[in-house]
Amino acid sequence: MDVSGILEEHKNKFKSIQVDRLIPVEFDLGLLSCFDINMLDENKLKSNPTTRNNYLKELAREGAQLLINELFSLPTTIDEDSYYATLPKPTTVLPREKPVPKEKPMTRWEKFAKIKGIQKRKSSGKVFDEATGEWRQKYGFKGVNNDDQKPWLIEVPGNADPFEDQYKVRREEKKERIEKNKRRSQRNYEERVAVEKGIKPHEMRKRELQKALVMSKQSTASLGKFDEKLKGEPKIKGVKRKFDPLVGSADKEKSKNMEILNKVNKGVTKSTVLNVRKAQRAMNNAKRNKK
Amino acid sequence: MLVQPKAKNARSKRFLANREAKVVENVKTAIFVRGSKTSKVIQDTLKDLYSLRKPDAINFTKKNEIHPFDDETSIEFFARKNDSSLFAVGIHSKKRPHNLILGRLFNYQILDMIELGIEQYKSMEELKSKMCSVGNKPLMVFNGEGFGQNEDLIRLKSILLDFFRGETADKVSLKGLEYVITVTAGPQGPNGEQGLVYFRTYTTGLKKSGMRQPRVELEEMGPSLDMRIRRVRYPVEDMWKLAIKVPKELKEVKVKNITRDGLGDKYGRVHLGKQDINKIQTRKVKALKKSLDQKPAKKQRTMNVDSD
């Protein structure tokens, strides 16, 4: 039986989905887009708005038809009540929003654990509290480790002072543990910053200390002139205090005061004068950021 | 002592973590900023583009003294505040009437931007046609040979693609292909000046075609813009290189010895070591046993075990 006639008839019932293009159209299905670099009809684009808009609409229709033909030929999955086309990865290169995240250097514990082969074990954050018959957090709010869960009786260790408050000892030990943890995390942080800056950690610490020293000196009225000198103390740069002699030439004093007055009159403010030091610092920061 | 920046509570910690650099990034947020002087055309354009870009968009309703091409600081400040990396700024002036600036940022610094003068405009309100639903991904069609040759147009294409691509998705609902954005590069002027760029948006209607693929019919939705490219800022090369870097985790790992041909068939290559014929397992026949002495020795061992 010849069915070609029936097929032809069936086909004629619908409008065509075929679009002809001289140069094949490029697709980037990951971005649901297509790029058509065929020649356009200049006359239609330059003529009156209605013809132009109709032409643009026709172009858009054909482009969209091509794109939809491609999309409907992709492998599909059914989810809930709709067909989903599985998209390939986008081929067009588009920039990121932020730089690729840098790998954080390992903390001291992580380094140690790696050498020892200690692996993180996943444990649940909750424990069963038999007294109340409830599941409770191990740590944190209403946690088991909190002091309201303290035992009603604590055995006094053999070597301890019998009159010592064992509950207080417990509290203080916990505080100490927290402090110790904080100190360690601070140390890890400092080491991380040093690694990121490309300096050795102890060198970094030295620098920070020196900075603090300079600052403390600047906070005294005499700029640390009469402070006790430390061993190996660096010479502070840029801290000068020069006093003019009380008795001197009147002209010098006059010109100096006039200079100040002129500045005020001209309206020279902080914002109009270039702060060379500040500018230099900004430049250096910018350079560092670029790296 | 170095002060460690720390969030005060879990919510702000989560918030800050969301803003950090990531391997798989968030959807880019766009900000829509009005300049100190705007026209009705510019205001409506910003409004319409904002409604296309929703929900990952922030609309600034107040005027701002802003000129991205002359001074980058304020746009970079806004971007940092709102954690956005795309912007649209509308300004109107005598020198540059109906000025629309589209651009992107990388790491809160301007990467590239393009200035467009709007010459013809039709808003969504004027056209009053069917609307697409909020947050839907558009189909994008770029027409014209200029998009393959002209540097400015290529830049425009890249920015527009970035602007409207929405969420990165690995699958798309075939029912949800609701609207099309087409950008057509018009012919050049007689003196070789840049032609107009026609930006049109249409809603789609999918009709039966007797085949698997439907027939597409379009209806103009708006906004419709005829624009002329004015100034273009290209990215600094170093910055661009950093911006297009693909993280290690997302790079496809090459699998050794497996190839696919054009038809999608998979071929595997298997490497076998040299075969040792002496150790090969053949049919088990008593006569082929290596030696008969082994047997009593084995028995003795088992006996020893038993005695223990």
Interface ipTM: 0.80
φ, ψ for residue B167, nearest 5 deg: -70, 145
Question: A219-270 pLDDT, tens per residue?
Answer: 877 777 788 888 877 777 666 667 778 888 889 889 989 998 988 888 766 6
- Asked whether residue B308 carries a pLDDT value surpassing 50, the answer given is no
Long-range contacts (CB closer than 8 Å, 24 or more residues apart) made by B149-152: B150/B185, B150/B194, B151/B232, B151/B234, B152/B114, B152/B194, B152/B229, B152/B232
Name residues 87-126 of chain B within 8 A of A (Cβ).
104-107, 111, 120
Q: What are B197's strand-pairing partners?
A: B185, B227
Interface touch B218/A34, C-beta < 8 Å: no
Higher pLDDT, A181 or B261: A181
Length of chain B: 308
Other residues' Cβ atoms within 10 Å of the Cβ of residue B201: 25
Reference B186, options B150, B138, B222; nearest CA is B150
Put simply, whether B271 touches A (Cβ < 8 Å) is: no
Q: Give the residue numbers spanning the domain of A47.
A: 8-85
What mean pLDDT comes out for the span B123-144? 87
Distance of CA B203 to the CA centre of its chain: 22
The number of folded domains in chain A is 1
* pLDDT at residue B222 in the model: 79
Round to whole Å and give the CA distance between B143 and A94: 19
DSSP state for residue B247 in the 8-state scheme = P
pTM above 0.80, yes or no: no
Put simply, whether B27 touches A (Cβ < 8 Å) is: no
Interface touch A68/B175, C-beta < 8 Å: no
Choosing among 3.40.50.261, 3.40.50.10480, 3.40.50.720, 3.30.70.1250, the CATH entry for B26-250 is 3.40.50.10480
**Residues above pLDDT 70, as percent of chain B:** 93
Q: Are B160 and B139 in contact (CB under 8 A)?
A: no
CA distances (Å), B253 to each of A21, A76, B48, in order?
37, 25, 42
Reference B138, options A63, A213, A10; nearest CA is A63
In a domain, A12, yes or no: yes
- Asked whether residue B166 carries a pLDDT value surpassing 90, the answer given is no
